[in-house]
A and B are shown apart, each in its own frame.
Chain A
Amino acid sequence: MADGAAADQTWAASPGRHGTARSFLLPAQYGVFPVALLVAWQVCAQIGFVRRSVLPAPTDVALVWFDLITGATDVAARYSGTWLDHAAASIWRVLAGFASGGGLGIVAGLLIGLSRIMERVLDPTVQVLRNIPVTAWVPLSLVFFGIGNAPAIFLIGLGAFFPAAVNTTHGVRQINVTLTKAARMMGANERELLVRVILPGALPSIMTGLRLSMGIAWVLVVVAEILAVRSGLGYLLNDAYLFYRNDVVIAAMLSIGILGFISDRIVVLVRDHLLEWNRLETFSGEN
């Protein structure tokens, strides 16, 4: 009996020990890889077997980035203090394209998912157009819309449309038929079926589609800004490349990466907020 009690006590104490170990391990798990990457990069740049202007060190990039944003040191020369305007232009284009393309994609996906007739009318066209890389639309959209925001938003919208449409269709089609039957049995009309069953039931898949749309929007904003407009982080990146400012190029790249990451986090937060119920029903990974 005494042995048993002692064993119980050590067992009871162990979660606390694990707890402190884990609270230290958690930031380490997040930090270890990026830190290692930065260190390796700094070392490579400083050994000097590539010229510093070709491969600037992380510290060089940090300094030029700081000047890009604040305009305080003039390290970025002609780009000094321009970051906010470029970032704002890119964010605005991404949001406009994402909202219009994603919104239309959800509508198209609902139509195709809900109606076999609409599936026959729309789906073949969507599936063919989906297989044309959006970059292949660049020449035509420049001819149609000229230089400016219009072709950029068109391209981003087009890219955002397809993942939203395809995933919405999938979301509608994987709704458990017992639920639609039950709603019908209870007397739901078409509108009630859509609002109370189809939309919430398809929402996990719709959110997956929107997340992909957001990712593609950040890819295409760079493409569009290199080719079709004279502002934005993509423009900054390309212009700095032409002036052989690789430090600015890398700062612009990382800016795009971070802004893309933040917008993805926002979509994920919205999703997790809306889909709290879904976490109870699905696998969420192991520790």
Chain B
Amino acid sequence: MAALADINLDIADQEFVTIVGASGCGKSTLLNLLAGFDGPTSGELSVDGAPVVGPGPDRGVVFQQTALFPWLSVEDNIAFGLRLRANKHKGAAEKIVERLLERTGLTAFRSRRPAELSGGMRQRAAIAGVLAINPSTLLMDEPFGALDALTRSIMQDFLLEVWEEERKTALLVTHDIDEAIYLADRTVVMTAHPGRVREIIAVDLPRPRRYEMRSEKRFIALRDYVTGIVREEAIRGAVDIAA
């Protein structure tokens, strides 16, 4: 059985789209396809008008399980991509790394190893490493899924700030409905078995987003609406499996 079916999704340049759905709905599969780690069994994918044939530095991926090289310092981890031949033309590594260390608040931790950092700092370093190669698109697979609730909300604000500055097309997969709405221009709700797009919801909250918006009526209404659909789909999925 196919993991995904009839996915038709166009993401505009510089748009922030989040995908939310019950576990097993294929949202990570979709992200892996766009990243080029997996190939589709049928259909086509394109990013910036070019078909996706494999992973590449035009699409930066932030993984749930933080992708930092344990043998490299924070600084060398951020510079990792820039030191590859594919990115040599992207400018002086030192300057870019310096700026990103500053931007992520990791300057004081530049020579530490990943094992010496907190979860939030590790994910900031990983995001910095992706931003260093200046991809046109950011693909994020539950990037804050392993963090505690407080760190997660701080990281969401950090991500939004960075996104406002760098204005990249962003696609973020999550099972956290608050996160999906808070970050997005549009939120895609997926159904499971096989994964389909159930509904695309425009999030008409003003930008820049602020933490307080989460207690405003409009946000709560959106959250209740999305939660309703996701729950309905999760229950249907569980019944399908049981039957």
Q: Is there a chain B Cβ closer than 8 Å to A286's Cβ? A: no
Which chain A residue lies CB-closest to B132? A186
Q: Is there a chain A Cβ closer than 8 Å to B70's Cβ? A: yes
Query: Would you give the shortest CB distance from A277 to chain B, in whole angstroms?
Result: 4
Q: Is there a chain B Cβ closer than 8 Å to A127's Cβ? A: no
Q: Is there a chain B Cβ closer than 8 Å to A178's Cβ? A: yes
Which chain B residue lies CB-closest to A197? B69
Query: Would you give the shortest CB distance from A106 to chain B, in whole angstroms?
Result: 18
Q: Are B113 and A188 in contact (CB under 8 A)?
A: no
Q: Are A178 and B84 in contact (CB under 8 A)?
A: no
Query: Would you give the shortest CB distance from B65 to chain A, in whole angstroms?
Result: 5
Classify chain A: how many residues form its interface, as a range. Answer: 20 to 34
Q: Is there a chain B Cβ closer than 8 Å to A117's Cβ? A: no
Q: Is there a chain B Cβ closer than 8 Å to A280's Cβ? A: yes
Q: Is there a chain A Cβ closer than 8 Å to B37's Cβ? A: yes
Q: Are A280 and B63 in contact (CB under 8 A)?
A: no
Per a CB cutoff under 8 Å, which of B54, B56, B66, B70 touches A277?
B70
Give A residues with C-beta under 8 Å from B: 176, 178-179, 181-189, 192, 196-197, 200-201, 203, 275, 277-278, 280-281
Q: Are B69 and A178 in contact (CB under 8 A)?
A: no
Bitwise, B127-142 to A at CB < 8 A (1) or not (0) is 0011001000000000
Query: Would you give the shortest CB distance from B104 to chain A, in whole angstroms?
Result: 17
Q: Is there a chain A Cβ closer than 8 Å to B220's Cβ? A: no
Chain A residues near B35 (CB, 8 Å)?
A: 181, 185
Chain B residues near A203 (CB, 8 Å)?
A: 71
Q: Are B69 and A186 in contact (CB under 8 A)?
A: no
Chain B residues near A201 (CB, 8 Å)?
A: 69, 71
Per the bound structure, the CA–CA distance linking A277 and B73 in Å amounts to: 9
Q: Are A187 and B133 in contact (CB under 8 A)?
A: yes
Per a CB cutoff under 8 Å, which of A196, A278, A280 touches B80?
A196
Query: Would you give the shortest CB distance from B67 to chain A, in whole angstroms?
Result: 4
Q: Could you name 13 residue pairs across A and B whose Cβ atoms are closer than 8 Å? A: A178-B66, A179-B67, A179-B69, A181-B61, A183-B80, A184-B54, A186-B80, A186-B84, A187-B56, A188-B84, A196-B84, A277-B71, A280-B115
Q: Are B81 and A200 in contact (CB under 8 A)?
A: no
Q: Are A192 and B85 in contact (CB under 8 A)?
A: yes
A184-B55 contact given A189-B86, A277-B70, CB 8 Å threshold: yes
Per the bound structure, the CA–CA distance linking A280 and B71 in Å amounts to: 10
Query: Would you give the shortest CB distance from A205 to chain B, in whole angstroms?
Result: 13
Q: Is there a chain A Cβ closer than 8 Å to B60's Cβ? A: yes
Q: Is there a chain A Cβ closer than 8 Å to B166's Cβ? A: no
Q: Is there a chain A Cβ closer than 8 Å to B169's Cβ? A: no
For B, the interface residue count at a CB cutoff of 8 angstroms equals 30
Bitwise, B67-82 to A at CB < 8 A (1) or not (0) is 1011110000000110
Chain A residues near B115 (CB, 8 Å)?
A: 277, 280-281
Q: Is there a chain A Cβ closer than 8 Å to B59's Cβ? A: yes
A181-B37 contact given A186-B57, A186-B133, A280-B113, CB 8 Å threshold: yes
Chain B residues near A187 (CB, 8 Å)?
A: 56-57, 81, 84-87, 133
14 additional contacts (CB under 8 A) given A178-B66, A187-B85, A281-B70: A181-B63, A184-B37, A185-B55, A186-B57, A186-B80, A186-B86, A186-B87, A186-B129, A196-B80, A200-B69, A203-B71, A275-B71, A277-B71, A277-B113
Per the bound structure, the CA–CA distance linking A281 and B70 in Å amounts to: 8
Per the bound structure, the CA–CA distance linking A187 and B61 in Å amounts to: 12
4 closest residue pairs by CB, A with B: A187-B86, A182-B67, A186-B81, A280-B115
Which chain B residue lies CB-closest to A181? B37
Q: Which one of A179, A185, A278, A281 has the highest number of Cβ atoms from chain B below 10 Å of its Cβ?
A: A185
Chain B residues near A179 (CB, 8 Å)?
A: 67, 69
Chain B residues near A181 (CB, 8 Å)?
A: 35, 37, 55, 61, 63, 67
Chain B residues near A183 (CB, 8 Å)?
A: 80
Q: Is there a chain A Cβ closer than 8 Å to B232's Cβ? A: no
Q: Are B69 and A185 in contact (CB under 8 A)?
A: no
Query: Would you give the shortest CB distance from B38 to chain A, in whole angstroms?
Result: 11
Q: Are A188 and B86 in contact (CB under 8 A)?
A: yes
Chain A residues near B37 (CB, 8 Å)?
A: 181, 184
Chain A residues near B129 (CB, 8 Å)?
A: 182, 186
Chain A residues near B70 (CB, 8 Å)?
A: 277-278, 280-281
Q: Are A185 and B57 in contact (CB under 8 A)?
A: yes
Query: Would you give the shortest CB distance from B17 to chain A, in whole angstroms?
Result: 19
Residues 103-155 of B at the A interface (beta carbon under 8 Å): 113, 115-116, 129-130, 133
Per the bound structure, the CA–CA distance linking A275 and B59 in Å amounts to: 32
Q: Are B61 and A185 in contact (CB under 8 A)?
A: yes
